[in-house]
Chains A and B, each alone.
Chain A
Amino acid sequence: QKEVEQDPGPLSVPEGAIVSLNCTYSNSAFQYFMWYRQYSRKGPELLMYTYSSGNKEDGRFTAQVDKSSKYISLFIRDSQPSDSATYLCAMSAWPGGGATNKLIFGTGTLLAVQP
């Protein structure tokens, strides 16, 4: 069983829709949760970073963590064609990956926002 599970999609939505992306995990030691966005032929870039349970909002993006259910979500409001990318969840027991600098990634969800 993978430590982190993520629906690979693809997910296609019309412009303006609310998008929900999700990951589940099995390791209860994870405390730090990230969402990366990866455009085609580019490296991942950090989108959201949260610690422990709760919500964090940044513009059109909201990250939610439910540690009791081992479930994290990313919501995108008023989605735009420029949001079309692969979204990767990542997590770690230590900030930034700690001494081993290792993040555990989901496999990514491919999102297409249609104009």
Chain B
Amino acid sequence: EAQVTQNPRYLITVTGKKLTVTCSQNMNHEYMSWYRQDPGLGLRQIYYSMNVEVTDKGDVPEGYKVSRKEKRNFPLILESPSPNQTSLYFCASRTGGDTQYFGPGTRLTVL
């Protein structure tokens, strides 16, 4: 089944404790993105990747890092999480075509 998977689905952590949210897609897609979804603000892009080893900032990259060492994986790294990074996170991928496929989401709470 074609899909985008994320782990963990739910995470509660404390300020400053490094964490990684994994994203994997099995569709051989070149493009991948991370978005965060906040009430009243909608989905905003954090980082994107055009292919392996090619990544760049989106609209809200502060406090986040990404890497793309393999085509299927695009982890999101929070090296020192803060409460303002409490949010719902989505990974998305697509080929050169039109449709972006989204993962199921990771709900992160930073205390």
Chain A minimum-CB-distance residue to B97: A96
| B contact patch SS | strand
**Contact count band on A:** 20 to 34
| A contact patch SS | mixed
Which has the most chain B C-beta neighbours within 10 Å: A32, A96, A97, A101? A101
Q: How many residues of B contact A (CB 8 A)?
A: 30
Whether B105 contacts A102 by the Cβ 8 Å rule is no
Whether B48 contacts A100 by the Cβ 8 Å rule is yes
| B2 close to chain A: CB less than 8 A | no
Of A44-52, A59-67, A72-80, the segment with at least 4 beta carbons within 8 Å of chain B is: A44-52
Residues of B bordering A, CB below 8 Å? 4, 31-33, 39-45, 48-50, 56, 58-59, 90, 92, 94, 96-105
Residues of A bordering B, CB below 8 Å? 4, 6, 8, 32, 36, 41-46, 49, 88, 90, 95-97, 99-103, 105-108
